[in-house]
A = this chain, B = another copy of it.
Amino acid sequence: MPRSTSSPSPKGGPVTLAMVARRAGVSPQTVSNAINSPELLRPETLERVRGVIDEMGYRPSRAAQALRTRSSKLIGYGIQPVPGGDTAPVMDRFLHALSQAADEAGYRMLLFACPPGGPSLEGYEELLGQHDVDGFVLSNTARQDPRQAWLAKRGVPFVGFGRMWSGRQIGDWADVDGASGTDAAVEHLVALGHRRIAFLGWPRGSGVGDDRAAGWQRAMRRHGLPTRGRRAESAGDVEAARIAVKPLLDAGATAVVAASDTLALGCYHALRERNAVPGRDVAVVGFDDSPIAGILSPSLSTVAQPLEAVGRECVRLLLARMANPAAPPERVLLEPSLVVRDSTPVPGSDAPAL
């Protein structure tokens, strides 16, 4: 039964609460209550008012609500230009999840274009017009960055996607348990019979990278497998990875766990160089499940982050914080999941065609 939706635009202005009230023969406050506290109205009044609301196509003005209630129902999100571009898809999915979760809670995401070259705090000062947003979602919060402290001091509720790896922990966050992901990757490879499992990561000191390395190390230890000489570090690009992984292959690794899909791709290149086939000769596992993972040939097994869940958690944490600013900080660690593809073929399945 489609609502009438009589076109309201040709008329003068938009339909206001007062117009609805007049038409329904009640006071404006009653209409307001019909929307915000229906339980206060007598059922028959409620029904009548609702009927008029529908009939007139009334929508409360967000601006007026925001002014009166001091709540804009907006959540800020600072997007940063991604230089390499390889994490863009990840952030895109995250943003989507965030937006969806926010919508479901009656909130909207408001974008703040952080200028390239890091979130200059000076800009933030100007950027965040006090009342504009009810809360903030920060991403890439790996390291202590000034934004947290700044927002905390301002009393603006915020939540981070990502732990803080250095400095004092401030505020709530949701993050993905990277160690658990690489642990699962090792577990998977061990089950396939691998024992010489190497790790290709980023230089130490990056919290995210160290976390992922730790999961590999932990799982290796658990299985009594040696980690010495099985770990290499590389910059984030394909070429650096190709070079960095060589010693690991020379040392006879039969499997490589990489800290990112891009690094895994470097590994592919290194293998091709020596006429070896990823998946057949050496197993490779990436991290992030970026679009390239599915596109590579052979397709790349990788650790997928539960971005939808992270988005939901971020919104949940943020709303909780807004409801109770004094509550103790809450931190959520989510489990990633291993996506098995052709670069780690399970025995019995067809070897990947090259």
Contacts and interface: CB of A to CB of B under 8 A. Distances in A.
How many copies of this chain? 2
Interface stretch (A79-87, A139-147, A186-194, A218-226): A79-87
B131 A62 contact: yes
A154 to B, nearest CB: 6
Contacts of A154: 9
A125 B93 CA distance: 24
B59 A129 contact: yes
A263 to B, nearest CB: 11
A36 interface: no
Interface stretch (A96-104, A162-170, A198-206, A246-254): A96-104
Q: Sort chain A's interface into a size bin.
A: 35 or more
A14 B131 contact: yes
Interface in A289-333: 290-292, 294-295, 297
B125 A99 contact: no
Interface of A: 5, 7-9, 14, 59-64, 66-67, 70, 72, 74, 79, 81-82, 84-86, 88-89, 91-93, 95-96, 99-100, 102-103, 108-113, 125, 129-132, 153-155, 238, 262, 265, 269, 272, 290-292, 294-295, 297, 354
B66 A130 contact: no
Contacts of A103: 112-113
Given A89-B89, A297-B269, A63 B63 contact: yes
Contacts of A290: 85
